[in-house]
Structure formats: C-alpha cells, structure tokens
C-alpha cells in the first residue's frame, strides 16, 4: 500500500490498517460471521459452521500467495474462498459446500473494506481531536495578539492570531461532525448475493444480514449496495473536504514560516526538516505533508465520483477503480491530520515579529490609511471576535464528541461486535 516515495506522506498505523494481512483478516471475519448467522437461522448445520469458523484464522493462510493469485482471479476474494474451502475440507469435508454459502466476492470485499476503514477513521478522529485541541489552545492564548491580515497575498489590515486560529479550527470541527454522520451511514454490511436478492438464502436472508451486522458492528442496510455507492462515496467526499481544510491551514502556516515573514515556525526536532546540503535550512515538513495530501485528494475523490455510474447489478471495472483509490484517500487523510496535529501542538509563535510586520506596513502608509485600516480598536474588535468564535467551536466540538460516544455506546465497540458468540 505504500512506497519509498509516499510512505512518509502517511502514517504506519493507517498503512497497517489497509495492509494485506489486516484486510484478509477482515474478510475472514465476514466469513465467520456469515457461517455463524446461517447456522443460527438453520440455513447450514451447526457442525459445519463450527468448522468454517475454526478455519477463519489469518495465520492459516499464505497472504502473499493470495495477493499474487488475485491478479489472475480478478478479486482477492476468489483465492481466499478457495483456500478457506480447502482448509475447511481438511477437518470436515461435508462443511465445504456450506462455506461462503449464498454470497459473492463483492459482499466479502465491501464488508472487509468497511471494517478496515472503521479502524482508519478511528485513527483520523483521534488525531483530528488533537489538532482541534491544539489550535483552540493557540487561539485562546493569542486571541489578543495583533497581526497583519493579508488578502491576495498582500498586506491588508489588522486582525489577531487567535482569530486566524479560530478560522482554521472551525472547518475541522464541522468535518468532525459531518464525518460521524457519513460514517454511520457508510460503514455498513454488504450482503446481496449474486444479483442483490439473497435468493439462495430464501426467507432467511434478512435475518442473516441482521445477525452479521450486529456481530461485526456495522449498520444493517435496507438492501444491497453493490452498485449503489452514494453513501460510501459521500464519506469519501467528507474525507476530501477534511484534507482540503487541513491543506488551507498548512498553506497559511508555511507562508507565515517563510524567513522573510517569520511569524511562525514548526517546532525544532533533530533530523526534522533539515537539508542534505544547507545546514541553515528549517523546512516546514509538517505543512509539506498536509499540502501534498491536499494536492492528491481531489483526484482520489474525483475517481470515486467518476466510478459511480456502474452497470446494472454489478459493475465491470468501476468498482475495482474505487477499491484502488479508496485506501490512498484515507491514508492521505490520516497523514495530513497527523501532520497538522503535530505542527499545531508544537507551533512556535513570534508575537514580536507579528507586531514588527504590522509596524512596517503602518510606516509605509499615509496617515489617513493607517487611521482607517490599522486603528487600535480594530485589534480589539478582532480579539472579541476570536473569543466568540473560540467558544462556538468548543461547543460544537463537545457536541460532536458527545455524539461519537453515544454512537459507540449504542453500537458497541468493534472488539465486542466482532468477538462472536
């Protein structure tokens, strides 16, 4: 999932979440939940279900071999199910016919993608909270710190650094709220069978789906979503918006950290942001990571949207495009939010330099322009606005985190949901 050229733009944790072994393990969780639910409804014998569940252990499978074979098969699910049936047959040949009964490759893969995405979203939410907390702290400490506002890249008027930070944090809080709603809808079980009707399971299909969703901690959809990707893509769009908001923060930080401006600096850390040739360099690598994500995310989101017009009940190539783009988008999002959280948490602010830059502009202007655009009461007004906006952001953030806690309480933790019965 990563390479020497892009690994540093993400995080090890989210790369592992989408790693081959983790994804195969998620697919096996689906197969175990399927067998357990089908046994509970009488679709397959209890003994067969026990044999299937006992074989759904990732350590029993040669994951690299499955990945190699997936290219020829057209889906990772095909060699996995074949290997699962072989493993089941070693202990209970009669259970092979009941393995993967009534479902298809896309059911397995979509559900596994929802499971690993849930892990990745938890990582994003944690670092997003760190970023929000750090930015709110900066905003509160510098609510009354005057600085130069800039429009069209040129000096404009007076504002406060606290107000600027409040402006940075507000979209992050909104993303936190919207992502919760989008994730609640998108992280759902996929179970449709060959053409979305669950025909092989007969009248037991809806009950099987309900039991599986409960065990896996996913939403039980009203029907299959094999080619109805709106809720899934909506979550991808929210990730794109988050990355864009983080990119805006990073852009401002990088501009303010330029030597000629010098109002901010990323925290110094040995080996971080250095140059292979120039010892005086202090490159803003945190901003660089977030900006790189902001450059890549629009193409990822566009690919998801472009893949939505899928053919009939199952798509040719469109779904596969989505599968390839999705992890890259999520990994970029976590790399971006982690970078901004780290930068904001250690940000070095230079109020004296902010004041000096303000004074340099004042000194270059006619007196009447200074009176209109740089009057002391404008700084006080910016400080009051900062306080108001900080309070609003804190209230909205608290509401978002309360909603997360409530949702987790109602659904149960992923560990509980996937532990089985």
Q: Which residues are catalytic?
A: 275, 314
Cβ pair 53, 420 in contact under 8 A: yes
DSSP code at position 260: T
* Per-residue DSSP letter, 266: P
| Residue 150, both tokens | 């800039």
CA angle 58, 61, 63 (to 5 degrees): 90
Instruction: Find residue 148's DSSP bridge partners.
Output: 158
- Rounded Cα distance between 85 and 245, Å, is 47
Q: How far apart are CA 216 and CA 218, in angstroms?
A: 6
Q: Identify the sign of the CA torsion 231, 101, 31, 311.
A: negative
Cα–Cα distance between 208 and 31 in angstroms, integer?
12
Rounded-to-integer distance, Cα 25 and Cα 186, Å: 20
DSSP state of 412: -
Contact present, 19 and 1 (Cβ < 8 Å): yes
Beta carbons of 58 and 116 less than 8 angstroms apart: no
3-state secondary structure of 303: helix
Decide: residue 234, CB within 10 A, 0-12 exposed, 13-18 middle, 19+ buried.
middle
Is residue 30 within 8 Å of 84, Cβ to Cβ? Answer: no
Distance CA 316, CA 194 (A): 14
Q: Classify the C-alpha dihedral 182-188-194-199 as positive or negative.
A: negative
Extended strands (E) in 218-332: 264-265
Asked if residues 418 and 195 have their Cβ atoms less than 8 Å apart, the reply is no
User: What length is written for the chain?
Assistant: 421
Q: Are 169 and 392 in contact (CB under 8 A)?
A: no
């Amino acid at each position: 999932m990563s390479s020497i050229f892009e690994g540093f733009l993400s995080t090890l944790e989210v790369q592992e979440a989408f790693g081959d072994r983790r994804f195969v393990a998620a697919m096996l969780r689906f197969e175990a939940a399927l067998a357990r639910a089908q046994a509970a409804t009488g679709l397959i014998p209890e003994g067969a279900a026990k044999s299937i569940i006992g074989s759904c252990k990732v350590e029993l499978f040669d994951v690299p071999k499955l990945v190699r074979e997936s290219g020829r098969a057209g889906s990772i699910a095909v060699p996995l199910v074949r290997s699962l049936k072989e493993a089941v047959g070693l202990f209970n040949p009669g259970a092979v016919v009941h393995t993967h009964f009534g479902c298809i490759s896309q059911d397995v893969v979509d559900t596994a993608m929802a499971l690993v995405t849930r892990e990745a979203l938890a990582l994003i939410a944690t670092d997003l909270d760190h970023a929000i907390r750090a930015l709110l702290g900066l905003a509160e400490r510098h609510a009354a710190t005057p600085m130069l506002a800039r429009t069209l890249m040129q000096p404009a008027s007076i504002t406060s650094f606290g107000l600027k930070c409040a402006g940075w944090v507000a979209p992050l809080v909104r993303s936190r709220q919207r992502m919760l709603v989008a994730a609640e809808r998108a992280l759902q079980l996929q179970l449709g069978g060959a053409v979305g009707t669950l025909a092989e399971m007969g009248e037991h299909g809806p009950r099987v789906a309900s039991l599986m969703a409960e065990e896996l901690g996913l939403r039980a959809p009203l029907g299959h979503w094999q080619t109805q990707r709106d809720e899934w893509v909506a979550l991808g769009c929210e990730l794109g918006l988050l990355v864009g908001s983080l990119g805006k923060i990073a852009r401002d930080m990088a501009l303010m950290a330029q030597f000629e401006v010098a109002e901010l600096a990323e925290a110094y850390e040995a080996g971080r942001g250095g140059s292979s040739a120039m010892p005086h360099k202090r490159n803003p690598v945190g901003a660089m990571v977030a900006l790189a994500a902001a450059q890549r995310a629009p193409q990822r989101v566009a690919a998801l949207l472009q893949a939505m017009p899928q053919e009939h009940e199952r798509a040719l190539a469109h779904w596969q495009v989505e599968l390839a783009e999705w992890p890259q988008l999520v990994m970029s999002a976590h790399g971006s939010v982690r970078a901004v959280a780290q930068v904001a948490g250690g940000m070095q602010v230079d109020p004296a330099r902010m004041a000096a830059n303000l004074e340099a502009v004042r000194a270059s202007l006619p007196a009447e322009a200074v009176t209109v655009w740089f009057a002391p009461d404008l700084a006080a007004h910016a400080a009051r606005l900062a306080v108001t906006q900080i309070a609003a952001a804190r209230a909205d953030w608290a509401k978002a985190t309360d909603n997360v806690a409530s949702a987790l309480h109602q659904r149960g933790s992923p560990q509980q949901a996937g532990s089985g019965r």
